[in-house]
Amino acid sequence: MDLIIRNATIIDGTGAPGWTGDIGIEAGRIAALSESGNSIEGSSPQEIDGTGLIVCPGFIDPHTHYDAQLMWDPTGSPSNLHGVTTIIAGNCGFTLAPIKAQDADYTRQMMAKVEGMPLLALETGIDWNWSTFEEYLNRLEGNLGLNAGFLVGHCALRKYVMGDSAVGSDASEEQLNAMKELLTESIRAGGLGFSTTQARTHSDGDGEPVPSRWANENELLELASVVSEHPGTTLEFASNGCLDGFDDEEVDFMIKYSKSGNRPVNWNVLTVDSHAPERYQNQLAAMDRCAEEGARVVALTMPVIVGMNMSFLNFCALNLMPDWGPILALPLEERMERLRDPETRRFMEERAASPETGVFARLTGWDTYVIGDTFTAENEPLRGRRVGDIAAERGTTAFDTLIDIVLVDDLQTILWPGATDADPESWRLRQEAWKHQSVMLGGSDAGAHLDRMQGANYTTRFLADCIRGRKLTTVEDAVRMMTQVPAELFGLKDRGVIREGAHADLVVFDPEEIGSEVLSMVDDLPGGTSRLFAGSVGLNHVLVSGVEVIRDSTPTGALPGSVIRSGVDTDTVALG
């Protein structure tokens, strides 16, 4: 054996009770697995003492946007630090290939706007020296610290074929056929399938709807049908139903989309809030109807509250509040003048409280906001304080207090919204949702919104919550939901479970310590740009293909990961 993990509690990913035993690894695979109370005979040049530790399959993150970051950071940080050994990227219709040289700037501007990737990092951290999907994947192969699979994004296909007319126009029959050929070529190169978005929040660098939002239903279904012709493929979709709940037309589309591709469809993200139960209930009912009609549509949901920061200076989720966008898009001085106006404040507060706010309603607990970084001596004493407490001292409303504070800093103030959906009833509803046949854990958006949110640590936070926190499910079931379940949805071969012959993608952790560090801002992106970051605690070892990539919550620098290619590393998950 190349390596043996001895005397650990083995949680195999199936949900079965853990047992104490050994795992032997050879040539990147699990070569031996002892039963409870037994040991693997012989020795190995490398052994890990698992006494008091848990070993489980490496976690699989089904919704990331590491497409750009992996070019300058092949480790996939910080997901690697939280036990993620396989990621799926290319979601929401956004990929960096196929691409023509003249479209690179448009793509950079779009990714900076819609996915919050710092433009300077995209400009300085990547050479953009590829065109086809195969060339893009080949750039990554052999230079990855984790395994990465990539969907083929609709926006890239449209832009490549249609050029400037990708925004604002229907595709002609000739253009649609060219997109289908390009999708076929990209899937044959290893693309895992097709992703698209129709979500109203997805706009390009010019503020126009991204290319895929201009597609009609026929175009979407024709592209999905291409996926049905290739083994080991899947579909992904972002829609307005993710934000507000699904109407009948969207449900009808998802059914046709899944059936056209003869594949499961996953979408991001199901949010559960006891204060808006109708949205959650609508979304689950939509999944049930899809199943009744012979389609399979799976909602991703996060098992933790993802921390995110906001500001009135830079584009963020606040801009997506109903009718806030035009106000927050004004030049700085005009914006500040409008925010000083009492009528504007009342208008903004009323519009944020309207049903149209949808999923962003969780950001409207103005009294729960915590003041982060400040930029004037006047605001310095307010750092770390709740807006509600400050408002009570000043005798003003929470919203007025919030606006007053940010105006003093010329809108630079960093704000940390308190979650309005962290009440016991919301957690009970999440616990129910995890049991639904069409719900899967995931949706970190890791690699995107880098200076605004950080969901990559959901794996260690969820384990900590299951072991030492709310204990809403068992650690065995928590592991199953983050390993076997996503592996089966994507048809990942020999991943997601511990058994002989499976890839040796493994996590060894201390159940008494496992968790995440608190979020902090670090300036480690290309061009000196910033991102939110959190390391892990209690993560003893992470193995990818039997090679240690994390030791004691610290990267080793090893790059044993590989590109997950459709039909080679994946089996077909069909509807029938």
DSSP state of 246: -
User: E-assigned strands of 377-505?
Assistant: 415-416, 439-441
CATH number of the structural domain 3-56+519-557 = 2.30.40.10
Measured between alpha carbons, how far is 51 from 38 in angstroms, rounded to an integer? 14
Report the share of the chain in percent with pLDDT over 70. 100
pLDDT at 161: 98
Structure tokens at 119: 């433009």
Q: What is the Cα gyration radius of the chain?
A: 24
Tell me the CA end-to-end span of the chain in Å, nearest whole number: 41
Parallel, antiparallel, or unpaired for β 234-238 and 515-516?
unpaired
Kindly report, residue by residue over 482-528, the tens digit of the pLDDT: 999 999 999 999 999 999 999 999 999 999 999 999 888 899 999 99
The fold for domain 60-304+421-494 equals TIM Barrel (3.20.20)
Kindly report, residue by residue over 327-378, the tens digit of the pLDDT: 999 999 999 999 999 999 999 999 999 988 888 888 999 999 999 999 999 9
pLDDT at 521: 87
DSSP state of 344: H
Measured between alpha carbons, how far is 507 from 503 in angstroms, rounded to an integer? 12
DSSP state of 213: G
Kindly report, residue by residue over 155-166, the tens digit of the pLDDT: 999 999 999 999
pLDDT at 576: 78
Query: Residue 37: is its pLDDT beyond 80?
Result: no
- Assess contact for 133 and 189: CB atoms under 8 A: yes
Query: Residue 115: is its pLDDT beyond 80?
Result: yes
How crowded is residue 329: how many other Cβ atoms within 10 Å of its Cβ? 12
How crowded is residue 365: how many other Cβ atoms within 10 Å of its Cβ? 18
User: What contacts 392, CB < 8 A, 6 or more positions away?
Assistant: none
Picking from 482, 445, 448, the residue whose alpha carbon sits closest to that of residue 462 is: 482
Picking from 334, 329, 324, 254, the residue whose alpha carbon sits closest to that of residue 296 is: 254
Positions of CATH 2.30.40.10 in the chain: 3-56+519-557
DSSP character string of 284-337: HHHHHHHHHTT--EEEEE-SSPPPB-B-SSS-SGGGGSTTTHHHHTS-HHHHHH
DSSP state of 231: T
Positions of CATH 3.20.20.140 in the chain: 60-304+421-494
Measured between alpha carbons, how far is 236 from 94 in angstroms, rounded to an integer? 11
Q: Residue range 392-403: average pLDDT?
A: 97
Q: Work out the pLDDT band at 35, boundaries 50, 70, 90.
A: confident
Bridge partners, residue 306, by sequence: none
pLDDT at 466: 98
Kindly report, residue by residue over 225-276, the tens digit of the pLDDT: 999 999 999 999 999 998 889 999 999 999 999 999 999 999 999 999 998 8
Picking from 1, 2, 3, 14, the residue whose alpha carbon sits closest to that of residue 56 is: 14
Mean pLDDT across the chain: 96
Q: Residue range 139-149: average pLDDT?
A: 98
Q: Residue range 90-115: average pLDDT?
A: 98
Is 203 in a helix, a strand, or coil?
strand
User: What contacts 531, CB < 8 A, 6 or more positions away?
Assistant: 118, 450, 451, 454, 521, 522, 524, 525
- Assess contact for 60 and 495: CB atoms under 8 A: yes
> Which residue has tokens 């503020």?
207
